[in-house]
Chain A
Amino acid sequence: MLDAQVGTPAVTMRGVSRAFRPEGEAPVVALSAVDLTIDEGAFVALLGPSGCGKSTLLRLVAGLDRPDAGKIEAPALASQEIGFVFQDAHLLPWRTVEENVALPLQLRGVNSTAGDHTARVREALREVDLESAARRYPAELSGGMRMRASIARALVTRPRLLLMDEPFAALDEITRHRLDERLHELWREQGLTILFVTHTIFEATFLAQRALVMGRRPGRILRDVILDLPEKREPSLRASPAFMREAQQLLEGLEEASA
């Protein structure tokens, strides 16, 4: 929610650098001395041209990769209250939707009473309106349903920090709008902190309170934009002048970053 808890931020990065050295090629500086603070409960969009290090940044926050230099703090990581949604759903094809959603609970092994699991899985499926498909296999779902299953899987552990890497990029526009709206509601309901990578300016404008525009070579944050829009986002917002104004501001930033 907007009234961010004063105290420790959800994510703090200080001078974080990460370079990749592919064999036989020149090293790629994916991130160079990035400083970043994300407040607890914020919805932050991360934009930038391809290859500027957005995924690298997300993976570092999730502890899936280590920086070459600098410090990263994310209390949710230490307390295992973190969720990650990838660009594609990446469900286990041999498990039904509900079994996929139960996976994080099984892997964590905490509270492993089966009944408790079932209740939490059902709850997570309800949050993404997917209860009717609980018993189906991923191969039997549409792309949008698969993505919703993937979000339910990330929500089932009740994370405080949700990292999303272009989650809806592969979906058609209408489906993406639906999911954006649902995601925004979930964020308001649950008081999550969300860090959301996207290539779509309109999506970033619709969802986020704050947008970070990154540039590449080396990967760094070029602009930090506060989006001046109402906290509750209705579908009609997309046609409003305020929305266009904020989107235009982001577009300029992105064009500058891509130059």
Chain B
Amino acid sequence: MSSESTRAESGALGRALSFSLPPLVAAVIFFAVWEVLVAQLHVKPFLLPAPSAIAKVALAERKLLMAAMQVTAETALAGFGLSAIVGVLVAIVLASSRLVERALFPYALVLQTVPIVAIAPLLVLWFGVGARAVTASAFIVSVFPVITNALAGLRSVDPNLRDLFRLYGASRLARLFRLELPWATPSIATGLRVACGLAVIGAIVGEFVAGFAEDDQGLGIVVLTSYRQLRTDLLFAAVTGSALLGLAMFAGVTVLSHLVLRRWHASAK
């Protein structure tokens, strides 16, 4: 028994290594080549700074960057949270009948197709400059995948289970909470994983247009100002920060969905 468990553990460790080692090695090679090329070819720092220069400025400006990350994280999370709630609610409404879906789905699609940059000024008019407009932008960009994935999940409920609930005279609410929503949970989790990355993008784009509030300036503003000042190294640091933020949110959603689903869903195994 114990030898089996050690084998399983070393297997898990090996698997973790075989997943994380290749990208790490690739990153090291990538940055090394970048560093050497920039030095050898005398690339102007405002066009492409060396990784070491970016790291240096990230360290020097860490207070500014951390504060900016926190501001962006707050609006991105708020927009993402709204997407999760509104997206699932909309999916429930759309799933209630084919007719409702046919009537309303095209308008949900509009959210997906209208470029956020085009709506952002409108958001400023409605919500003013600041967190509310940025949150709205994060929400609009990220809600669609939640709707479509939740809808697909609600639609895919096993018809035999629907029969079972009908046989026992289940109420509409019992069907929703005891069958349809749990059944759709894996799909909803998939939608949320897509949505959380989009929420960060939506927040940063929103900040470009609406983020100029006095003292809560997010990563989008750091990107814009460092660009205007040709501080390309700081710009790179801010971009890296936004990538890290997206990754952190993705990791958070993945861990949460794994915790919820691990006992029963094959995809969590």
Contact check, B169 vs A80: say whether CB atoms are below 8 A apart.
Answer: yes
Nearest CB on B from A189, distance (A): 23
Contact check, A92 vs B169: say whether CB atoms are below 8 A apart.
Answer: no
Which residues on the A side are within 8 Å of B264 (C-beta)? 93-94, 137-139
Q: Helix, strand, loop or mixed for chain B's interface?
A: helix
Please count the residue pairs between chain A and chain B whose beta carbons lie under 8 angstroms apart in the complex.
55
Residue of B nearest to A82 (CB): B167
Which residues on the B side are within 8 Å of A138 (C-beta)? 264
The residue from A90, A108, A139 contacting B164, defined by CB atoms under 8 A apart: A90
A64 within 8 A of B: yes
Binary flags per residue of B151-176, CB closer than 8 Å to A gives 1, else 0 = 00000001011011111111000100
- Which residues in chain B, 140-192, are within 8 Å of chain A measured between CB atoms? 158, 160-161, 163-170, 174, 178-179, 182, 185
Contact check, B185 vs A107: say whether CB atoms are below 8 A apart.
Answer: no
Number of interface residues of A (CB under 8 A): 22
Contact check, A103 vs B160: say whether CB atoms are below 8 A apart.
Answer: no
State whether A106 and B164 are in contact (beta carbons under 8 Å apart), knowing that A90-B158, A93-B265 are contacts in the complex.
no
Nearest CB on B from A169, distance (A): 14
Contact check, B160 vs A108: say whether CB atoms are below 8 A apart.
Answer: no
CA of A63 to CA of B163, assembled, Å: 10
- Which residues in chain B, 243-269, are within 8 Å of chain A measured between CB atoms? 263-266, 269
Contact check, A90 vs B168: say whether CB atoms are below 8 A apart.
Answer: no
A121 within 8 A of B: no
State whether A84 and B161 are in contact (beta carbons under 8 Å apart), knowing that A93-B265, A106-B178 are contacts in the complex.
no
Which residues on the B side are within 8 Å of A64 (C-beta)? 163, 166-167
Residue of A nearest to B263 (CB): A137
Nearest CB on B from A45, distance (A): 21
A86 within 8 A of B: yes
A144 within 8 A of B: no
CA of A104 to CA of B174, assembled, Å: 11
A62 within 8 A of B: yes
**Interface size class of chain B, counting residues whose CB lies under 8 Å from the partner chain:** 20 to 34
State whether A86 and B266 are in contact (beta carbons under 8 Å apart), knowing that A64-B166, A103-B178, A107-B174 are contacts in the complex.
no
Which residues on the B side are within 8 Å of A90 (C-beta)? 158, 160-161, 164
Binary flags per residue of B6-43, CB closer than 8 Å to A gives 1, else 0 = 00000000000000000000000000000000000000
Contact check, B263 vs A94: say whether CB atoms are below 8 A apart.
Answer: yes
Contact check, A92 vs B182: say whether CB atoms are below 8 A apart.
Answer: yes
The residue from B160, B185, B266 contacting A94, defined by CB atoms under 8 A apart: B185
Residue of B nearest to A105 (CB): B168
CA of A157 to CA of B185, assembled, Å: 28
Contact check, B167 vs A92: say whether CB atoms are below 8 A apart.
Answer: no
- Which residues in chain A, 85-104, are within 8 Å of chain B measured between CB atoms? 86, 88, 90, 92-94, 103-104
Binary flags per residue of A201-228, CB closer than 8 Å to B gives 1, else 0 = 0000000000000000000000000000
Contact check, A107 vs B163: say whether CB atoms are below 8 A apart.
Answer: no
Which residues on the B side are within 8 Å of A88 (C-beta)? 160
Contact check, A107 vs B160: say whether CB atoms are below 8 A apart.
Answer: no
State whether A104 and B168 are in contact (beta carbons under 8 Å apart), knowing that A90-B160, A92-B161 are contacts in the complex.
yes
CA of A208 to CA of B160, assembled, Å: 25
Which residues on the B side are within 8 Å of A108 (C-beta)? 168-169
Contact check, A107 vs B165: say whether CB atoms are below 8 A apart.
Answer: yes
CA of A103 to CA of B179, assembled, Å: 11
Nearest CB on B from A111, distance (A): 13
Contact check, A107 vs B168: say whether CB atoms are below 8 A apart.
Answer: yes
Which residues on the B side are within 8 Å of A92 (C-beta)? 161, 178-179, 182
CA of A139 to CA of B265, assembled, Å: 8
CA of A86 to CA of B158, assembled, Å: 12
Which of B163, B174, B185, B266 has most A Cβ within 10 Å?
B163
Contact check, B266 vs A84: say whether CB atoms are below 8 A apart.
Answer: no
Which of B160, B164, B166, B264 has most A Cβ within 10 Å?
B164
Known: A93-B265, A107-B169. 16 other contacts (CB 8 A): A62-B163, A62-B167, A90-B158, A90-B160, A90-B164, A92-B161, A92-B179, A92-B182, A94-B185, A94-B265, A107-B165, A107-B168, A107-B170, A107-B178, A137-B264, A139-B264
Q: List 13 A-B contacts (CB under 8 A).
A: A59-B163, A80-B168, A84-B167, A90-B158, A90-B160, A90-B161, A92-B179, A94-B263, A94-B265, A104-B168, A107-B170, A139-B269, A157-B168
Using a CB–CB cutoff of 8 Å, the interface residues on chain A facing chain B are 59, 62-64, 80, 82, 84, 86, 88, 90, 92-94, 103-104, 106-108, 137-139, 157
State the 10 A-B residue pairs at the shortest beta-carbon distance, nearest first. Answer: A107-B168, A93-B264, A107-B170, A90-B160, A94-B264, A104-B168, A86-B160, A94-B182, A64-B163, A137-B263
